[in-house]
């Protein structure tokens, strides 16, 4: 079984900034070499047309790693989702598709909402995954509950920076 690693952020009460967002100065039109998101107009966007245009002059492209890919690389997550039960494994592929589609839809809202490792434990009838945003973890839980009922629980860390979503059926 893979190591399951999640940390809460160390934040000061007045620190509202995401350390991963502010750690690096990004330049306009920087391209993430991992996910191909582009930093444009002070935000990260997923824009295939813009990407194609930039690739016409590959020597001018400046590559970087976006905050979300850095979070995934360093196992820094804000949401943990744990799913459990026999029903889950009877509908495993469907539910995994629902999870992937939830991530894809979240992309339109914020391309930094992403899923890290997905750990499937057949013996324990458990699927665990981590997300780079608390919001995405909650969306996944709510979408599964909406589609398949079951029992959904949410809990937050003391500093509200890590959400744990538990669903069982
Ligand atoms: Zn990226």
Summarize pLDDT for 60-90 with one digit per residue, the tens: 999 999 999 999 999 899 999 999 999 999 9
Ligand 1 centroid–CA 39 distance in Å is 10
What is d(CA 110, CA 136) in angstroms, rounded to the nearest whole number? 10
Spatial distance between the Cα atoms of 31 and 42, rounded to a whole number of angstroms:
13
User: How many angstroms does the Cα of residue 72 sit away from the middle of ligand 1?
Assistant: 9
For residue range 95-118, what is the model confidence (pLDDT) as tens digits? 999 999 999 998 878 888 999 989
Instruction: Centre a 10 Å sphere on the Cβ of residue 52 and count the other Cβ atoms it contains.
Output: 9
pLDDT for the residue numbered 140? 98
Ligand 1 centroid – CA 4 distance (Å): 21
- Residue 55, SS3 per DSSP: helix
**pLDDT value at residue 111:** 86
Cα of 113 vs centre of ligand 1, distance in Å, is 10
Strand partners, 166: 82, 153
Strand partners, 78: none
Q: Which stretch of DSSP H or E encloses residue 30? A: strand 30-32
Q: Please, which residues have CB less than 5 A from ligand 1, an ion?
A: 32, 34-35, 37, 66, 69
β-strands 126-131, 79-84: how paired? antiparallel
Percent of the chain with pLDDT over 70: 89
Q: Please, what's the b/e burial string for 123-139 (b: 16 or more CB within 10 A of its CB; e: otherwise)?
A: eebbbbbbbbbbbbbbb
pLDDT band for position 158 (cuts 50, 70, 90): confident
């Amino acid at each position: 079984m893979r190591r399951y690693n999640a940390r809460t952020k160390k934040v000061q009460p007045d620190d509202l900034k995401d350390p991963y967002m502010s750690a690096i100065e990004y330049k306009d039109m920087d391209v993430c070499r991992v996910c191909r998101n582009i930093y444009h107009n002070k935000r990260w966007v997923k824009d295939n047309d813009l990407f194609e245009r930039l690739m016409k002059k590959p020597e001018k492209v400046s590559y970087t790693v976006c905050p979300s890919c850095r979070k995934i690389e360093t196992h820094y997550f804000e949401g943990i989702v744990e799913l459990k039960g026999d029903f889950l494994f009877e509908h495993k592929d469907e539910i995994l598709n629902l999870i992937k589609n939830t991530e894809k839809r979240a992309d339109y809202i914020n391309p930094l909402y992403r899923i890290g490792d997905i750990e499937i434990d057949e013996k324990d009838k458990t699927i665990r995954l981590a997300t780079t945003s608390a919001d995405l973890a909650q969306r996944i839980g709510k979408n599964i509950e909406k589609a398949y009922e079951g029992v959904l629980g949410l809990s937050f860390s003391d500093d509200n920076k890590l959400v744990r979503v538990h669903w069982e059926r």
